[in-house]
Amino acid sequence: MLARVLMLVSAAILFALGALHLIYTFSGPKLFPRDRALQKRMGEISPVISKETNMWRCWVGFNASHSIGAMFYGLIYGFLAATHSSLLFTSPYLLVVGLLMVGGFVALARAYWFRIPFVGTGMSLACYVASLIVLLVQKFI
């Protein structure tokens, strides 16, 4: 039961971070550059890969897809922990993929983002690892 709760908390944290990030992506100026001239310039310049878009549209799209990825992890792993925990906790594949996903978010937060997402993703990872530890302890006791 404790392993399930910890996994749910891990999933809920990443879902909440993703949802908040998605809201910030499409409403308000929180993800706008402080220099408005930079935003204007981003709207004028296309990336090398294609002239069919511009850097501002790429920025918004990357932020939205990033948010959806965090929410997807939260929905899938939360659902599995809540309703199919035997499948989740007996599947090395699902456990490793989840660990890599959360660990990847932590690594990205550390390298590229700022304190709040680093702390949030770190808490999610701590809950995930604690869930695995509880699972292992229960298995061998």
Comparing CA positions, the residue from 103, 112, 16, 98 lying closest to residue 62 is 112
pLDDT tens per residue across span 108-119: 999 999 999 999
Its pTM stands at 0.91
Distance set, CA 135 to CA 25, 104, 105 (Å): 37, 22, 23
Kindly state the percentage of the chain with pLDDT values over 70: 100
- Which residues touch 83 (CB under 8 Å, ≥6 apart)? none
Distance in Å from the first CA to the final CA of the chain: 15
Using pLDDT thresholds of 50, 70 and 90, give the confidence band for residue 81.
Answer: very high
Distance (Å, whole) CA 102 – CA 126: 10
